[in-house]
């Protein structure tokens, strides 16, 4: 759609270019920014030309740039891609979770190929598929602050409410750090939507680390990510009760709070069974 209040459009190619003038807004893929009126915005600063590799290996895992597209992230799960060596694929057992979570997004061709992981997290919808993935993998967001510094915050803590996060004015998501420990985990993901192709009503990710620690994260059903962490496999009854006791299940046209609570408990039970099977 046309944004009638916007008077300027510039590309950022360096960190200095990310300093926002009053009324300017960061644009990544632009898929959300161009989908509804943003009348408070006077100018866009397009970050698609920032010289950031979509992703890179690090000493402790994998770093994904904010400008990596959802399509490029999902492609890392493809066992036939040459992104990783066979040894890395064997070691990083969590890689299939990338595509599983990306497909939880209700995405046509444009969103799949143009929307970025940073844009998805920054939008901070409860049904944010990339938020589900990153929260499930204990991922830390690297935030560039307007004074030239940076801060780190777990993605699960960055998102505060449906469409609300803790980014301050002028802060930019630079990247997401996925720790080696999480990449080596056994994982599972289950989701449900009221309509076959509808937005997710609940997404549950599960992770069993090599030291047996288990992390189950509820997203889409709750206003913000709700991780449940256990030193070892919880009993199905304990997990069920912990899910039922979570705050923040909400009602909207895509599902009632009670339905979201009930299906999340059921999905969590299935995730737990998956994690048990994997090592049986
Ligand atoms: C038809 C439709 C269906 C959708 N369905 C879903 C769905 O099921 N689940 C879901 O989660 N989302 C859904 N979305 C929204 C989707 O998440 C966003 O369109 C997309 O993820 C945004 O990515 P983008 O790169 O295009 O961001 P943009 O549209 O460019 O930006 C989105 C917001 O993030 C900010 N931003 C972008 N990058 C950064 C950064 N690096 N640092 C700081 N701020 C930044 C922008 O300023 C803007 O406020 C849907 C959107 C549409 C149009």
pTM: 0.96
At residue 106, the pLDDT reads 76
Give me the phi and psi of 255, to 5 degrees please: 155, 150
Report which of 227, 207, 17 is spatially closest to residue 9, judged by C-alpha positions: 17
**In contact, 52 and 17? CB cutoff 8 Å:** no
Q: What are residue 141's DSSP bridge partners?
A: 153, 176
Report which of 165, 151, 158, 98 is spatially closest to residue 129, judged by C-alpha positions: 98
* 280 pLDDT higher than 70: no
Rounded to an integer, what distance in angstroms lies between the CA atom of residue 16 and that of residue 236? 51
Structure tokens at 44: 């866009």
**In contact, 170 and 247? CB cutoff 8 Å:** no
Percent of the chain with pLDDT over 70: 99
Q: Choose which residue among 48, 49, 121, 123 to substitute to test ligand 1 binding: the one with the highest number of ligand atoms within 8 A of its C-beta.
A: 123
Average pLDDT over residues 90-94: 97
Determine the distance separating the centroid of ligand 1 and the alpha carbon of 242, expressed in angstroms.
31
Nearest residue (by CA) to ligand 1, atom 52, is 32
* 120 pLDDT higher than 90: yes
Residue 64 Cβ contacting ligand 1 at under 6 Å: no
- Assign 277 a pLDDT band (cuts: 50, 70, 90): confident
> What are the pLDDT digits (tens) for 188-239?
999 999 987 789 999 999 999 999 999 999 999 999 999 999 999 999 999 9
Nearest residue (by CA) to ligand 1, atom 10, is 128
> What are the pLDDT digits (tens) for 3-30?
889 999 999 999 999 999 999 999 999 9
Rounded to an integer, what distance in angstroms lies between the CA atom of residue 148 and that of residue 156? 24
**In contact, 102 and 57? CB cutoff 8 Å:** no
- Average pLDDT of the chain? 96
Domains of the chain, each with CATH number or no CATH: 8-46 (no CATH), 55-181 (3.30.465.10), 185-278 (3.30.390.50)
Average pLDDT over residues 94-105: 96
Determine the distance separating the centroid of ligand 1 and the alpha carbon of 85, expressed in angstroms.
31
> What are the pLDDT digits (tens) for 43-61?
999 999 999 999 999 999 9
Average pLDDT over residues 141-163: 98
The string of DSSP codes covering 117-150 is HHHHHHHT-TT-HHHHHHHHTT-EEEEE-TTS-E
Nearest residue (by CA) to ligand 1, atom 43, is 172
């Amino acid at each position: 759609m046309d944004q009638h209040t916007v008077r300027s459009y510039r590309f950022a190619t360096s960190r200095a270019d990310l300093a926002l003038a009053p009324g300017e807004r960061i644009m990544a893929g632009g898929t959300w920014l161009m989908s509804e009126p943003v009348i408070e915005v006077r100018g866009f600063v397009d970050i698609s030309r920032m010289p950031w590799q979509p992703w890179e290996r690090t000493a402790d895992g994998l770093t994904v740039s904010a400008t990596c597209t959802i399509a490029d992230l999902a492609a890392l799960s493809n066992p036939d891609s040459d992104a990783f060596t066979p040894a890395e694929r064997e070691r990083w057992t969590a890689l299939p979770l990338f595509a599983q979570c990306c497909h939880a997004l209700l995405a046509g061709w444009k969103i799949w190929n143009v929307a970025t992981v940073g844009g998805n997290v920054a939008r901070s919808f409860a049904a944010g598929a990339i938020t589900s993935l990153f929260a499930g993998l204990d991922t830390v967001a690297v935030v560039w602050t307007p004074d030239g510094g940076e801060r780190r915050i777990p993605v699960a803590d960055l998102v505060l409410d449906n469409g609300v996060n803790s980014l301050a004015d002028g802060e930019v998501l630079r990247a997401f750090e996925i720790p080696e420990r999480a990449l080596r985990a056994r994982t599972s993901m289950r989701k449900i939507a009221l309509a076959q192709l509808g937005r997710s009503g609940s997404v549950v990710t599960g992770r069993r680390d090599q030291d047996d620690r288990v992390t189950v994260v509820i997203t889409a059903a709750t206003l913000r990510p709700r991780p449940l962490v256990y030193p070892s496999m919880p009993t199905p009854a304990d997990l069920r009760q912990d899910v039922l006791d979570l705050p923040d299940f909400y009602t909207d046209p895509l599902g009632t709070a009670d339905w979201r609570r009930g299906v999340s408990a059921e999905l969590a039970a299935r995730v737990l069974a998956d994690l048990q099977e994997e090592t049986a």
